């Protein structure tokens, strides 16, 4: 689901954004009616100051009845936090879940229709700092619209990010409960898969032509650590570096995992058959992993990590191909 964009692409989306569509067709009209709830009516003039994931203080109408989300991970997080009904617009990308498909779309991760954003009359805009266009984020702030920056640096940070969103949206009760569930799930995975005597090295192939992987700062690299494995390119500082075949041959990973769009993984892996001396090919430890939640930035990545851990464990204990 990756189409490298904007240089190295802030790939965590490649991973969602690798499937960012380059253009947006007709979209549902943006509603101009704020939610008609008693709570919203009673707090029309109230405001609150909260701290976002980057330590910035943001003052918003409280609770914000009209939220625009400019990233798929942020949208998923807002829904998990119990604020789905407060979202009035988001962006277009492929693989959109049913819970988000009916929301009005006002652009893509790198190109927002500013006129439609203004027409949505947002109380706050939630952005993805490493994916959205910095110039557009700055333009939104110049308009006087509150901007909340949301992005977790690790799987462990997802719970804290969810709690902060709950404070932003006035849905802390739901957000705190969901955060606790995710943290317990993650702790269970770490306990189950930690302690491997020799963590297998893994190439995560997130796009095939050109060949892209992820560096050590990307959430998928963290997912490998939880599974008791190691990203063979974890030393690279970029989130989504382009690499050459020669670099893969030199590092000779134990496994190759194609984090591919649905139906594409097998063809990606087939290309590696040209290198039968590569350890992962020689031993048959090749895996197509097409759960798109792994390439997202929302809470679904933790359940996807659980599925990845099971597959890596099975691959490790499978007899080598001859």
**Are 40 and 109 part of one and the same domain?**
yes
Residue 16 lies in a domain: no
* Number of other residues whose CB lies within 10 A of the CB of residue 237: 8
Residue 10 lies in a domain: no
According to DSSP, the residues that pair with 242 across neighbouring strands are 212
Q: Of 182, 217, 238, which residue is a domain's last?
A: 182
CATH number (domain holding residue 48): 3.40.50.1980
**Are 102 and 176 part of one and the same domain?**
yes
In this prediction, residue 41 has a pLDDT band, given cuts at 50, 70 and 90, of very low
**Are 163 and 225 part of one and the same domain?**
no
Q: What count of Cα atoms within 13 Å lies in the side-chain half-sphere of residue 236?
A: 21
For range 285-300, the mean pLDDT? 91
**Are 154 and 208 part of one and the same domain?**
no
Residue 275 lies in a domain: yes
Peptide bond into 210 cis (omega under 30): yes
Whether residue 11 has pLDDT greater than 90: no
Q: In a 3-state reduction of DSSP, which class is residue 225?
A: helix
Number of folded domains in the chain? Answer: 2
**Are 37 and 169 part of one and the same domain?**
yes
pLDDT digits (tens, 9 = 90+) for 249-282: 999 999 999 999 999 999 999 999 999 999 999 9
For range 289-313, the mean pLDDT? 93
Predicted pLDDT at 215: 95
**Are 49 and 160 part of one and the same domain?**
yes
């Amino acid at each position: 689901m990756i189409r490298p964009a904007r240089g190295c692409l802030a790939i965590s989306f490649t991973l969602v954004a690798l499937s960012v569509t380059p253009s947006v067709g007709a979209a549902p009209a943006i509603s101009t009616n704020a939610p008609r709830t008693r709570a919203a009516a009673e707090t029309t003039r109230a405001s609150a100051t909260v701290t976002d994931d980057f330590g910035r203080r943001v003052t918003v109408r409280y609770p914000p009845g009209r939220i625009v989300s400019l990233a798929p991970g942020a949208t998923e997080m807002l829904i998990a936090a119990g604020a789905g009904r407060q979202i009035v617009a988001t962006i277009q990308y492929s693989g959109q879940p049913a819970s988000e498909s009916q929301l009005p779309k006002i652009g893509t991760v790198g190109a927002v229709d500013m006129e439609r954003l203004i027409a949505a009359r947002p109380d706050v805009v939630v952005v993805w700092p490493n994916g959205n266009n910095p110039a557009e984020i700055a333009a939104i702030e110049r308009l006087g619209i509150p901007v909340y920056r949301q992005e977790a640096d690790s799987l462990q940070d997802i719970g804290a990010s969810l709690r902060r969103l709950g404070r932003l949206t006035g849905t802390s009760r739901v957000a705190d409960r969901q955060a606790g569930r995710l943290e317990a799930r993650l702790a269970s995975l770490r306990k189950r898969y930690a302690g491997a005597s020799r963590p297998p090295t893994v190439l995560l192939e997130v796009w095939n032509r050109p060949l892209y992987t992820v560096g050590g700062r990307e959430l998928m690299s963290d997912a490998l650590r939880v599974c008791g494995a190691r990203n063979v390119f974890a030393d690279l500082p970029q989130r989504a570096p382009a690499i050459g075949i020669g670099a893969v041959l030199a590092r000779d990973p134990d496994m190759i995992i194609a984090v591919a769009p649905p139906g594409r993984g097998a063809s990606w892996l087939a290309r590696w058959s040209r290198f039968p001396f590569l350890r992962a090919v020689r031993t048959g430890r090749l895996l197509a992993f097409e759960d798109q939640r792994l390439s997202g930035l929302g809470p679904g990545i933790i359940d996807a990590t659980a599925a990845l851990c099971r597959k890596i464990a099975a691959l490790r204990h499978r007899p080598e191909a001859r």
